[in-house]
A and B are shown apart, each in its own frame.
Chain A
Amino acid sequence: MSEPYAIVIGLEVHVQLLTASKLFCGCSTKFGAPPNTQTCPICTGMPGTLPVMNRRAFELALQAAVALDCQIAPFTKWDRKQYYYPDLPKGYQISQYDLPFSHGGHLTISDAKGRFEAKQVGIIRVHLEEDAGKSVHDEQAGEADSRIDLNRAGTPLLEIVSQPDMRSPAEAKAYLDELKLLLVYLGVSDCNMQEGSLRVDANVNLHIAGAGGEKIATPIVEVKNMNSFRAVERALAYEADRQFEVWRETGRKLGDVPKQTRGWDDAADITRGQRHKEESSDYRYFPDPDLVPVTVSAKQVEEVRAALGELPAALRRRLETTYGITPYDSDVLVNQGQELVTYYVELAEASGDGKMAANWVQQDVLRTLNEQGASIGAFPIRPPQLAELLQKVRAGEVDTTRGREVFAAMLASGRSAAEAMRALGIEQVDESQLVELCRQLVAANPKLVADVKAGKLQAAGAFIGQAKKLNANVNPNRVREICLELIAKG
């Protein structure tokens, strides 16, 4: 590393759990409803109302924690975190304080591009809590009223706190990618950042090598308001530079100043300090008397573990060993989600060529899906049909370039590979016909022949172009091979 310091990053991630109803009431959790139309006396904290825990939310939380290799507490309780804010109608958030339902897990991250070594990022704790509502502020801060929408209040959230184990913005990004992938695979969350179902706060500081080789830690800064993984990377990189500058100017170390909170300004590409009154951090946690504790047996944990299914890391390894694809390929495929992997596996099995299947899925299928904004489930060419095309390409019945035309035709017409080829007039050219065609070309192009003979092998490419004009169905590789042979014999 060229910088004279190491960046130390811990992430606090909140994800919205995929339940139909809120954590403590029956209001829908669906995103995008008009303001204050998904509320009831319970989630607006009306006097006299009481919370009752959503079983599904707890089950999803448990699945996530088990998948993150956390220890599951046999006894867990719910606490009130108290502070005043108008999007928090009860004046407290129901959360977990000293007895979270899980702690001490880890998530393995790696980089298919090899920018960092694979490593385990420790998970300090995972706990369940309720979300707050939303405050809409006017541009003129302090001028007009803030508007409060409580639709989101009471939505179940999972808080996942990592150890400060990440040492670069790229590692932080990889952690977020991997975490998101895991949670989406589990069906625990859709992790949609635009809709606020995944939020990230980062704790970051620097370890600087002092003059005497001693390690100097700079004050920890909490960075908020990052609304994409890219923003997280950029904010962390910015923050590292900024903290190094501040340290050079002031020499301030960890413990010299209270923890600072800074907000990422995406447009300006900087973090800005946020005002923070000291008293507001006295949350006066205490056990919520309206909710009863939850106990989880070791047997239950094992049942959850058994029912998790194959997680992304194991799936990647299986694809690599079974189909001989590279870690990069397996990464791309698995990152696309379970449905695409299923598609790929069917294609690899039916075509008998995992590598080729990986190429076609990544290049042609994914490109089409991206262009059309469609999902793999609705993709018209199913694996058996695509496998037929791949087999023809492999057998040399059609070359890759024309294969793409066939693919496009299949897509447009819904025809099989064979039908599409027939419609495009693609048929295999008889070998003797092909030799005769090459003989004519060689005879007609003495200059190209001379070039090839002089060692300019790329000149053979011109033969392919001419051959294709005469017969579109010729296999370009064979044309090249035969022409070179004829010239050599010549």
Chain B
Amino acid sequence: MPLTREQVEKVSLLARLRLAPEELATMTAQLDAIVGYVEQLAELDTTAVEPMAHAVEQTNVFRPDEVRASFDRAEMLAGAPKADGQFYLVPAVLGD
């Protein structure tokens, strides 16, 4: 089933991207081609196969519960697009 423009538009909102109309058209065509290609996996029977989420399968890696000095606030906020010396500032979280 080919990808539709509406689907791609919805995905762009989920991904917090915004595509101009011509970008949306190109993206839809390209994604459709790629999705068509990757769909070949469907021909493999994988019913009894355990998924492999990690390249090296280890378990139980922990760190001790030890406090380490936090970073200086000024240093952390130095890279913020907008800050007031204490907080990061973002456009109002609550709707308009």
Q: Which residues of A contact B (CB under 8 A)?
A: 19-21, 25-28, 34-41, 44, 52-58, 75, 77, 84-86, 135-138, 141-150, 275, 279, 282, 284, 287, 289, 291-295
Contacts and interface: CB of A to CB of B under 8 A. Distances in A.
Nearest to B68: A26
19 contacts: A35-B86, A36-B73, A40-B70, A53-B63, A54-B65, A77-B53, A85-B93, A141-B94, A142-B92, A142-B94, A145-B91, A145-B92, A146-B89, A146-B91, A147-B86, A284-B14, A289-B54, A292-B58, A295-B60
A145 B67 contact: no
Interface stretch (B20-28, B30-38, B40-48, B76-84): B76-84
Contacts of A289: 53-54
What is the size category of the interface that chain B forms with chain A?
Answer: 35 or more
A136 B62 contact: no
Interface in B47-62: 53-54, 57-62
A138 to B, nearest CB: 7
A263 to B, nearest CB: 12
Contacts of A293: 59
Q: Is the interface of B mostly helix, strand, loop or mixed?
A: loop
B2 interface: no
A291 B59 CA distance: 9
Q: Which of B14, B62, B93 has the most CB of A within 10 A?
A: B93
Nearest to B51: A287
A26 B91 CA distance: 30
B65 A135 contact: no
A292 B53 CA distance: 9
A90 B95 CA distance: 22
Interface of B: 10, 13-14, 16, 53-54, 57-71, 73, 76-77, 82, 84, 86-96
The interface centre, meaning the residue of B65, B84, B88, B92 with most chain A CB atoms within 10 A of its CB, is B65
A86 B94 CA distance: 11
Nearest to B86: A35
B67 A142 contact: no
Nearest to A76: B59
Contacts of B76: 36, 39-41, 44
B90 A86 contact: yes
Contacts of A138: 92
B14 to A, nearest CB: 6
B84 A27 contact: no
A137 B93 CA distance: 7
Contacts of B61: 52-53, 291-292
A186 B29 CA distance: 57
Contacts of A53: 61-63
Contacts of A40: 68, 70-71, 76
B92 A146 contact: yes
A86 B88 contact: yes
B63 A282 contact: no
